[in-house]
Amino acid sequence: MEIVKIKCSSKDDKDIDAISYCGECKIYMCNKCEKYHSKLHQNHQIYYLDIQIEDIFTGFCKEENHPNKLEFFCKNHNTLCCAACLCKISKKGIGLHKDCDVCLIEDIKDEKNDKIKSNIKYLEEISNTLQESINNMKIIFEKIIKNKEDLKLNIQNIFTKIKNVLNSREDELLIEVDKQFDNIYCNEKILEQCKKLPNKIKLPLEKSKNIEYNEDKLSSFINECINIENNIKEINIINDSINKCKNEGESEINFIYEEQFNSLLENIKKLGKISIINKHSIFDSLIINNENDRKELIINWIKQKTNKSILKFEKIFTMSINGTSCNDFHKYCDNKGPTLTLVKTTNNKIFGGFTPLNWESLDGVGIYDKNNQTFIFSLNSMKKFDMINKEKSAIYCNKNNGPYFGGRDFSIESDMKKCEAYANQYTNFLCNNNLELIGEKGSNKKFNLEDFEVFKIIFK
């Protein structure tokens, strides 16, 4: 806040900065003058100059070169003005309100008196609820801070897991290097043996030259021969190692990683995304009522596939409310554009699908998704399954069926209390014979439905 530097009105103290202003006396006072003044005039209105000078009311017009009393009120600008402000001639700050709706200040007093009463009531109401509002703001702020810290912790946990996997793989490869070199190449032990080889050859050679056949010492002769033969075997083993090393010198053990490494780097560069989820776009579901983490997961999947931001979800069908016949489904869901289907079975399997395509009452027609945006998902395993063959239909429109994804990857049949999930040659989203969608393995499964919902999705 700007402190106003105005000098004292006293002639004796005209060079001293004023600290206050008297509204009745219309004078500025320094610290000394203000002490005397407060003793003489205890009821005067004093304004201290640590506030903006514009906030001090003097009764005179504040426009430059308007030394006139404020006797008029401008309704257009809701401000007091003087005679110079109303001058017909407009120049040098004169006549600023000449074309405005102006009245005498006496004429506006009743209106302002009523206004101040309503303002008092309004301020009292704000005052009564202010503490509650402040407390709510504190709660919201604490949630924001917690969300921020949780988000950072989640990112750190993800990258810690990645680092741990990389470190573990590094250790495995380093151990593998030692094994490969020990198994294939000569080592320092063999090198030391090679250094001793000349002496190993010299010794048996000299013995061989000096040994003599003697009938009387036959056993000793044969023993010397055996020792020499054993020495030669050892020499041959070392010599073979030398020859092997010569051959090994022509080969190398390499670390092959380039293609995987470049792809890994690109994926790491794009890993993760900080996304703002508008809580108003969180949909109202009976199946996953208060599970916003699951709802946000579905929202992120849809945004990733469509590259669009969601404005809102509009629930258009609930089996337990709108009916259990196929006619009911098509009545509420046909030609609605992008939709989310959410299914819950009586054995607590929760899954569903998203498609940007229209549901229609046709006689069994496969509809293709040229943008490959349709997907199905499991909320039990928290997995999304993209189309593995976009040459096949993404959805199947039949007036005698409910929602029907892919090659019957899952479909709600003519009796809409029943659901089937297949994993055979007809599937378009899942690997054959692996029903990750429902958390069970087998050729096909049938379920009784507890409920299912369909939401129309409106993008921004």
DSSP character string of 58-125: -SB--STT---B--EEETTTTEEE-GGGG-SS-BTTB-TTTTS-EEEHHHHHHHHHHHHHHHHHHHHH
Contact 394, 428 (CB under 8 A): yes
pLDDT at 116 over 50: yes
Helices (H), ranges, 307-427: 319-322, 326-333
- The chain-wide mean pLDDT, for the chain, equals 83
Dist CA 13 CA 20 (whole Å) = 14
Range of lowest pLDDT (170-179, 298-307, 409-418): 409-418
Q: Which residue has the higher pLDDT, 199 or 168?
A: 168
pLDDT at residue number 275: 65
Question: How far does Cα 47 stand from its chain's mean position?
Answer: 53
pLDDT at residue number 289: 85
pLDDT at residue number 2: 45
Give the mean pLDDT of 271-290.
Answer: 74
Dist CA 406 CA 421 (whole Å) = 10
Give the mean pLDDT of 154-161.
Answer: 90
Whole-model pTM: value is: 0.45
Range of lowest pLDDT (69-78, 260-269, 292-301): 260-269
pLDDT at residue number 402: 93
Highest mean pLDDT of the ranges 83-92, 230-239, 256-265, 287-296: 287-296
pLDDT at 282 over 80: no
Contact 446, 305 (CB under 8 A): no
Pairing of strands 339-345, 350-355: antiparallel
Contact 9, 18 (CB under 8 A): yes
pLDDT at 430 over 90: no
pLDDT at residue number 353: 94
Contact 408, 426 (CB under 8 A): yes
Contact 85, 96 (CB under 8 A): yes
Q: What does the block give as tokens for 120?
A: 């008092």
Dist CA 292 CA 284 (whole Å) = 10
pLDDT at 3 over 50: no
In 3-state terms, what secondary structure has residue 244?
helix
> Which of 223, 369, 380 is closest to 287 using CA atoms?
380
Cα angle 310, 314, 318 (rounded to 5 degrees) comes to 135
**pLDDT tens per residue, range 326-380:** 999 999 999 999 999 999 998 888 999 999 999 999 998 999 999 999 999 989 8
Sign of CA dihedral 394, 316, 382, 269: positive
Contact 9, 25 (CB under 8 A): no
Instruction: Give the amino acid at 233.
Output: K
Instruction: Give the amino acid at 386.
Output: D
User: CB neighbours of 404 closer than 8 A, spacing ≥ 6?
Assistant: 395, 396, 397, 398, 411, 412
Q: What does the block give as tokens for 195?
A: 């250094």
**pLDDT tens per residue, range 38-63:** 889 888 888 887 655 555 666 778 77
Q: Please, is 376 exposed, middle or buried when counting C-beta atoms within 10 Å of its C-beta (0-12, 13-18, 19+)?
A: buried
pLDDT at 426 over 60: no
pLDDT at residue number 311: 86
> Which of 369, 337, 328, 347 is closest to 453 using CA atoms?
328
Q: What is the DSSP letter of 414?
A: S
Give the mean pLDDT of 135-155.
Answer: 85
> Which of 324, 319, 321, 326 is closest to 341 using CA atoms?
319
DSSP letters along 353-403, please?
EEESSPB---EEEEE--TT---EEEETTTTEEEE-S-TTS-SEEEETTSS-
pLDDT at residue number 408: 78
Give the mean pLDDT of 284-298.
Answer: 88
Give the mean pLDDT of 89-102.
Answer: 82
User: CB neighbours of 325 closer than 8 A, spacing ≥ 6?
Assistant: 416
DSSP-assigned beta bridge partners for residue 20: 29, 48
Question: How far does Cα 27 stand from its chain's mean position?
Answer: 61
Instruction: Give the amino acid at 413.
Output: E
Cα angle 361, 363, 366 (rounded to 5 degrees) comes to 90
pLDDT at 123 over 80: yes
DSSP-assigned beta bridge partners for residue 102: 74
Q: How confident is the model at residue 1 (pLDDT cuts 50, 70, 90)?
A: very low
List C-alpha distances in Å: 364 to 263, 298, 336, 393, 406: 42, 28, 19, 11, 12
List C-alpha distances in Å: 406 to 175, 352, 419, 452: 47, 12, 14, 18
Calculate the CA dihedral of residues 281, 286, 290, 292 and round it to 10 degrees. -40
Range of lowest pLDDT (126-135, 322-331, 341-350, 418-427): 418-427
Dist CA 368 CA 353 (whole Å) = 15
Q: Please, is 344 exposed, middle or buried when counting C-beta atoms within 10 Å of its C-beta (0-12, 13-18, 19+)?
A: buried
Q: What does the block give as tokens for 306?
A: 């469509």
The region that residue 323 occupies, defined by phi over 0 for left and psi between -120 and 50 for alpha, beta otherwise, is left
pLDDT at residue number 342: 96
